[in-house]
Structure 1
Amino acid sequence: MKKIIFILLTAYTLVSFGQVDNPLRIGVVGLTHTHVHWLLGGNYDDVQIVGIVETNKDLAKRYTDQHNLSMDIVFDSMDEMIEKSNIEAVAAFGSIYEHLEVVEKFAPLGIHIMVEKPLAVSNEHALKMKSLAKKHNIHLLTNYETTWYATNYKAYEIVQNDSIGNLRKIVVHDGHQGPIEIGVNQEFLDWLLDPIQNGGGALTDFGCYGANLITWFMNGEKPISVTAFTQQIKPDLYPNVDDDATIILQYSKTQGIIQASWNWPFNRKDMELYGETGYVFSDNGSDMRIRLKNDENEKQIKIESRLKPFDNPFSYFGAIIRGKIKIEENDLSSLENNMIVVEILEAAKESAKTGKTIYLN
């Protein structure tokens, strides 16, 4: 009898976490953002790629060969994919400018959407996207690599438990040596270095991470003001966009500093949290340094990866669509958080352009 009960409980647990359910039928719109390899090569048992929209057939052939996918699921248009594949959700991996078009196409059909960071190139685009998502009652999520860093959640827990006192300063560093320097493929560079298609340079590409995380730690509060400085340190490589940005967010009793760069000597995505009585540093997805009020020395700790579906964007997306988990208003992937992110980035671009501090309504 005990054995039967154990088997039934095990089966229930597997169903609860999506390991027995039919996988999420997802369509991919665009292959030019190289973060798409995260989905194409993920081998997720709870996600099935049933369609890909990509007009560049050379690019599509390279990626389908690389990931052992069939060119039979590659379509020339969103309409063709809708007609020929039974999709439940889409993930957008084209330019940031194209996110609006994806939402305009799929939201009225009740198809849920995840876009790669940031949500949109401008407040105008973001507001249209939000309106469509609300009208048609779909999930519209934004994916960031740092959303899946277990250290960030441990840091959030420490702050919420008041272990370092009230937050006084949050510093987020994101970037690398530069997209050309690290060997980004031409299809990605074609829009990444375009101020219209990308919405900016390093300020947009990496500034969004800090805006997303700081908004989360500030519980969805907008900053009072945004002040930003950008540079073109390598105008020969990046003539049309900034390659370095510093953004300062003013809150009533907290300051946020975002350092976004295509000029770091090494890749980095890290964060420093300073409270009244201690600090927390998230050095990467697994390594942290902490010093609390009564600690004589800094403690170094390693954090294990989060459990499925909280360890990757696609299982998480599917769990939300299936109703197994609920996305909260200020979650890192949420529409509400990412509307504020776009507002911060737009204010930062205006500040850098005019040399003035921009105050948010």
Structure 2
Amino acid sequence: MKKQIKNSSKILSFPSLILMLLLTPLNLSSQLNNEPIRLGVAGLSHDHVHWILGRQDQTDLKIVGIVEPNKELVARHAKHYGFSMDLVFDTLEEMIAETQPQAVAAFGSIYEHLAVVEACAPKGVHVMVEKPLAVSMDHAFKMKSLAEKYNIHLLTNYETSWYATNHKANEIVQAGKIGDLRKIVVHDGHKGPKEIGVSKEFLEWLTDPKLNGAGALTDFGCYGANLITWLTKGQKPEAVMALAQTFKPDTYPNVDDEATIILQFPKMQGIIQASWNWPFSRKDMEVYGSTGYVISENATEMTSKFKADKNKQKDTLNPLTNPYRDPFALLAAVINNEITLQDYDLPALANNMIVVEILEAAKESVRTGKWISLK
């Protein structure tokens, strides 16, 4: 990403800006457009919607409309967050016509992402979806075509995009401090969506292979594919091998709950471990190079060791600040032309096209038991 501050001739590269944010927390919101971005919300069945509904104290975005046909779900959220039922519409087309949003954030099933882009793109409305971008390459190609044809931003949100440790790890990698990349291992998972108590509406489509694309393989495998694509600056693996199993068939009869994806690069390996079976929730990453390693243990704690060091180093970082503290601050900054995404950046379309290609190859590998080459 590149960050350009208004009324300044200096352009900061993304790694430099991230380092500045880590070392000296700044409040950049005053540099954004004073008018809040008009945001529509498409769907309430994804539990990540609490992120935007609970963000009412921020002024960079304003929710102008909500689309959700499930009235029981709407009533439940309206009671909890106190939003007016006047904001709620039956269809996305109706909401766009009535409220004229600048952007729409999708919080329905992954399968529904295509329909959101189909409704928004021709009207010039930007879109941000929850991870992953799409359930298939067919959907992804259609979404990409529409975004390019109508010149809209199409972003994908991952929780791990907002981890200070991941940005610091990327800075270390790009600076060559650990040498040539040799192996990246990404772990993402928890006890399982039912076990951790997700909403019934979320669980219903999350465990549907059509609506979610797969089980844990999609739900958590996408994180590793996204991070590895970013760290390698958009390099696509030569081949993909995957193993997916269902250890709890009574709970998840239609989808996998355990998956391992291996990515083959010319001089590096990527290993993605996705699980709905782990005793504890975890989202961490290990990056190994020819002369050192860096491990993101969580959002703010990391461990590293370089060739010249006798001992490993442990660091606790400050959380990222505006406009990198959450997906909505970033969305506002992108729309306000404060940030230009590079193709391989975490929310960017080009990165997430590769993510979907990796996931689709992984599912084909599970089906055939073979390595799948990526063209």
C-alpha deviation, 1:65, in angstroms: 1.7
C-alpha deviation, 1:295, in angstroms: 1.5
CA distance in 1, matches of 2:213, 2:122: 25
C-alpha deviation, 1:16, in angstroms: 5.6
Of 207, 212, 237 in structure 2, the residue corresponding to residue 198 of structure 1 is 212
Deviations 1:25-46, CA, capped at 9 Å, x for gaps: 0000000000011111013211
Higher relative contact order (CA 8 A, sep 6+): 2
TM-score, L = length of structure 2: 0.91
Are the counterparts in 2 of residues 16 and 324 from structure 1 also a CA contact under 8 Å? no
Deviations 1:315-356, CA, capped at 9 Å, x for gaps: 110111111111111110000000000000000000011100
Deviations 1:97-142, CA, capped at 9 Å, x for gaps: 0000000111000000000000000000000000000000000000
Are the counterparts in 1 of residues 303 and 315 from structure 2 also a CA contact under 8 Å? yes
| SS of residue in 1 equivalent to 2:358 | helix
TM-score, L = length of structure 1: 0.95
RMSD: 1.4
Residue of structure 1 in register with 2:344 after alignment: 330
C-alpha deviation, 1:14, in angstroms: 6.6
C-alpha deviation, 1:15, in angstroms: 7.2
* Counterparts of residues 310-329 of structure 1 (less than 5 Å): 310-329=324-343
Residue of structure 2 in register with 1:3 after alignment: none
The one-letter amino acid paired with 2:103 is: A
1:299 has 2:313 as partner: yes
* Counterparts of residues 82-161 of structure 1 (less than 5 Å): 82-161=96-175
Q: Which runs of 5+ in 2 are unaligned?
A: 1-6, 9-26
| SS of residue in 1 equivalent to 2:307 | coil
Deviations 1:291-334, CA, capped at 9 Å, x for gaps: 11121211110111122011110111011111111111111000
Deviations 1:69-118, CA, capped at 9 Å, x for gaps: 11110111112212221211000000000000000111000000000000
Residue of structure 1 in register with 2:47 after alignment: 34
CA distance in 1, matches of 2:175, 2:339: 23
Change (3 A) 1:160 1:15: closer
Residue of structure 2 in register with 1:245 after alignment: 259
CA distance in 2, matches of 1:158, 1:286: 15
CA distance in 1, matches of 2:240, 2:335: 35
Residue of structure 2 in register with 1:25 after alignment: 38
4+ residue segments displaced more than 6 Å: none
CA distance in 2, matches of 1:235, 1:52: 35
CA distance in 2, matches of 1:168, 1:68: 50
| SS of residue in 2 equivalent to 1:98 | helix
Of 233, 241, 256 in structure 1, the residue corresponding to residue 270 of structure 2 is 256
Residue of structure 2 in register with 1:168 after alignment: 182
* Counterparts of residues 206-245 of structure 1 (less than 5 Å): 206-245=220-259
The one-letter amino acid paired with 1:289 is: T
Q: How many residues align?
A: 350
| SS of residue in 1 equivalent to 2:93 | helix
The one-letter amino acid paired with 1:106 is: C
